[in-house]
């Protein structure tokens, strides 16, 4: 049974706010204040102060992360546009024309990659097949033998 009384000095606005919150929970203002007091822990309040002191650093780090993400997205979009341009038929045709206009460059690249015809030597004739395609164990049926 509750027999001790605690008198609090609060503003009229605070009293109304406590009354509204208590009514929304279906409890008395006294019960609301008792429960609220039980929820408060001095260690939690000290930790909250520590966290509040870190808030400016957190907000600055968050702003940097947002800036970095925005820059990365912009870079990715530019890269996608570059890839689309490089894959376009118009660009590929322009490169073909530019390469074809420089036979010395084509020859130098072919030599560098080892596919220069002059350095490969003569193309060897393909060796003729020396065995029968069906192998040694198969005997041929003479023409007209199956009639």
Burial class, 37, CB count within 10 angstroms (exposed 0-12 / middle 13-18 / buried 19+): exposed
- Mean of pLDDT over the chain: 84
Name the CA dihedral angle for 76, 82, 83, 85, rounded to a multiple of 10 degrees.
150
**Per-residue pLDDT, 140:** 52
**Per-residue pLDDT, 62:** 97
Between 120 and 43, the more confident residue is: 43
* pTM, rounded to two decimals: 0.40
Between 110 and 77, the more confident residue is: 77
What are phi and psi for residue 114, nearest 5 degrees? 80, 25
CA distance 6 to 34: 11
Q: Where along the chain do its domains lie?
A: 10-40, 42-113
Q: SS3 of 113, please?
A: helix
């Amino acid at each position: 049974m509750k027999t001790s009384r605690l008198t609090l000095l609060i503003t009229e606005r605070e009293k109304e706010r406590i009354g509204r919150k208590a009514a929304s929970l279906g409890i008395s203002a006294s019960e609301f204040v008792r429960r609220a007091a039980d929820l408060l822990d001095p260690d939690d309040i000290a930790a909250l102060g520590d966290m509040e002191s870190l808030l400016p650093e957190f907000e600055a780090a968050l702003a940097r992360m947002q800036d970095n993400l925005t820059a990365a997205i912009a870079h990715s979009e530019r890269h996608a546009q570059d890839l689309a341009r490089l894959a376009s038929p118009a660009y590929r045709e322009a490169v073909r024309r530019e390469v074809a206009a420089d036979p010395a460059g084509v020859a130098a690249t072919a030599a560098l990659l080892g596919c220069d015809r002059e350095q490969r030597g003569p193309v060897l004739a393909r060796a003729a097949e020396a065995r029968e395609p069906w192998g040694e164990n198969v005997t041929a049926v003479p023409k007209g033998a199956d009639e």
